[in-house]
Amino acid sequence: MLPLDHIRILDLSRLAPGPFCTMLLADLGADVIKIEELGGGRRARLERQARRPPPEEEARRRAHSAFDRNKRSITLDLKSPDGVEVFRRLARTADVVVEGFRPGVVRRLGVDYERLRDLNPRLVYCSISGYGQDGPYAGVVGHDINYIALAGALSLIGERDGPPATPGNLLGDFAGGGLLAAFGILAAVVARERTGAGQYVDIAMTDGVAMLLTYFFSEYFARGSIPMRGTHRLTGAAPYYGAYRCADDRYIAVGCNEPWFYENLCRALGGERYLDDQWAAGERAEEIRRFFAEAFRARPRDEWFDALRDHDVAASPVYTLDEAASDPQLRARGMFVDLLDPEVGPVRQVGIAVKLSETPGAVRHTAHAAGADTDAVLREAAFSPEEIARLRAAGAFGSVNGERT
């Protein structure tokens, strides 16, 4: 038994936040049906025009696409009346719809929440966008860096006297978008058990980033001071909270906020004279930082990690991804799993972070090829073989280079 194996999700999303959201739910058992555009859509077509990857590379990409694992795939042309009608028929018995288009697109396509709610009042419908479905920026385009910039997170990341550092698309796309979307969907599903009715879930990645900044906003609202990169104890101002270069030019991260961890750090580095100076500022803080930096340069990173663990110091190596993938803690926690793809062979992917004692999730299979499950899904929805054949001939499932599928 999987905790969400009674939930069916129609996934219209394309870019990172939506597929990550539905991956999380699929890993816990939800029957996620990806609604794909034959040929991969505009982005994939442009990529193929610029560089046509060989079939084996496309198969390798599919097999390693963790976002699409545990999901089924059908192709539909939502710009055709037949394709829209198929989607609406599927939505009659679905539990959830997820979409990540710009506001207004699903309404133009005829698959918006209001229309589908009339067909299925129990439907939970989640829209993921950059700025949300309303407000003055609702129609403004953007990506992760734009959302974290506007919400205030980018101003906190980087060196004090340097420009903001680009942290990858972790905060906006994955945390503020996909993770909170999964949270919102599950909350709506639980509420439906009490009310019997579905609802609309409006997820803005910018809102999500602002929520992730709750601690910093709370400090600002309480004190009126504006934390910036390099000026707050958690953004680089404190010598006991940061990364230091070691003898092998690798880095170790220390996070000794608590006085007892700070004292342990000082003793481990031979800096007992600084035991009473944790909260020092100005030149004294810079003196401590210089001492820590010089001390860490005396030994390689992994030697320091072993030594500091023995001294009960909050420290960890700054790993590259290949090192993280070999770390015994992450491996012991099942955070990397090996699968067998029928076409590519052995595949390694990230595992499942949510550990449930009685109904754990599972990575059950790699991504299916686009449209691989079209006929099966439609048969489950009571489409007859004759209907499927007619819809295929009419182009409801899309076409490539003018050829029907």
d(CA 257, CA 382): 60
Structure tokens at 294: 């010089």
Strand order in the sheet with 251-255: 241-245, 251-255, 315-317
Strands 96-99 and 124-129: parallel
Radius of gyration of the chain (CA): 25
Write out the catalytic residue numbers: 143, 173
Neighbours of 257 (CB within 10 A): 14
Residues paired with residue 72 on neighbouring β-strands, in sequence order: 33
Q: Which residues pair with 348 in a beta bridge?
A: 338
Neighbours of 17 (CB within 10 A): 29
Q: How many CB atoms are closer than 10 A to CB 239?
A: 26
Angle (CA) 68 69 73, round 5°: 60
